Amino acid sequence: MKAHLTRRYRFSASHRLHSEEMSAEENASTYGKCNNPYGHGHNYALEVTVSGPVDEATGMVCNLTDLDGFVQREIVERFDIQNLNMLPEFARTVPTTENLCTAIYDILRRGFTHAHLEKVRMEETMMNSFEFAGGEIRE
C-alpha cells in the first residue's frame, strides 16, 4: 500500500528580485516593489510531500525523525534568516520563490533517501503559493 506524507516547516528569509541581465527600468516593471534595492523578507511555509509503501512493522511511510532532521539540517539551517541573493544557489538566478522551491526540491531529491519525494510546496504570502513536483523545466 502506497501512502503520502506531507510535513510543514517554517523559515524566514529576505530577497531582492533583480536580474543583472535587465535594465533598471525592466527590473522595476517586471518585479515592481519586490525590486526594492534593500530587499524584503518573507515568513515562508514549506510543505514537503513524500510517498512510499507503508511499512508493516511501523505503519509509516518514513520515520518523521528522519524527514524532520534532514529538512532542519539541509533546508531550514541553510535558508533561515538569510538574504537569498547572497547564497550560492542564487548566484546565477533570481531568487524568486519559484526558484527557491525548485532549489529545495533538488536538495531533497538528491539527499533524502528514506521515501520518494513527490513535491515541494511553499507559501510566500497569504495570496501566493508555489509548488514543484520535479520533471523537466521548459524554457
Coil vs helix vs strand at 115 = coil
Confidence of residue 1 (pLDDT cuts 50, 70, 90): confident
Average model confidence (pLDDT) for the chain?
A: 95
Strands 82-83 and 2-15: parallel
Grid cell listed for 119 = 513535491
Coil vs helix vs strand at 110 = helix
pLDDT in tens, 79-97: 999 999 999 999 999 999 9
Coil vs helix vs strand at 82 = strand
Confidence of residue 139 (pLDDT cuts 50, 70, 90): low
Which domains, ranges and CATH numbers included, belong to the chain?
Answer: 2-132 (3.30.479.10)
| pLDDT tops 60 at residue 138 | no
| pLDDT tops 80 at residue 136 | no
